[in-house]
Structure 1
């Protein structure tokens, strides 16, 4: 049985759907052109590794004047892309803590964006510890960030059960012997299956996992 649980945040506790937000505010074809022409993912990855949020977005906007207003939305509308919370996952986090199970976060998240998320989602303060890539200068799936988690928590291998939505992050954890759960993009189904997994691992009872 696992002895500690690690949650990713995006698409496990909070929906992270930039494309969905952009589709709400512009025609889908224009959004697809934006995402094809501008490497927003690389910009976001730099932020996740600790680059200053506003300055990084602004620098990309200056390099792409055609898309300047749309790129700046990544900063100005960020909390709308990182929403809503996945309520059942939050309940599972709190149920685990109520049982005395050590619970950690391991997430690719910028310094500034994580601070914004803490204000919007106070439950993010409820972990025993949050391992945030922007603060660490390391990001999943770099094996070094998993090694750091093991060193700092004192847990390793099958002691750990880790939920993440990305297969590459899961594969890196599994390579270290961690137990893993791949969270589906359908958040309702994902939370239900995650609850069932926590019960199967003996970490929660069925009533606690509701």
Structure 2
């Protein structure tokens, strides 16, 4: 009889990697201790040693995605400060597009993953090394908002409020408000995202992300000078 293949030992890292894979495939609503245990081939109770409750699990999943961003971005290379930050932010966006549920999850966490502080320390060091004062660098961090993590957090998002982001539903809504708000209607109709344009929210497309990023970097460059 052939020996049974041995499973790798259960660890916090292995559990969280499986949790991220589960959410990638089935969405955040599918993430439960029971479902995760099935995917790992273990009893649900064995997970609680590593992650004692659902909130701790979600914190760990958020932390895992942030760590993926930090690893993908890597240390700054010998480029102009604008080129460094642009590359970092767009690399972070690539990670978020692989996990499109992550921006919403990060916005619900009560604690900030430790990797975020280390990542922003690196960004701050890039700005100071590029000739910024701490005051202007501080203002730059506020202006960037969530862009360093690869997405632009919108104030209003129909999906997060239980609404729809479907194009047909949007067109029906536009028709209903066209007479009362002609300019807003015309703008939204003109700017509906193409199906091929990666999005991470109602008003976060790749084109808009890069436009805003370049606008901020160019404006900060003028202030720095």
> What TM-score range do you get, normalising by the shorter chain?
0.3 to 0.5
Length-normalised TM-score, structure 2: 0.32
TM-score normalised by L of structure 1: 0.34
Structure with the higher helix share, 1 or 2 = 2
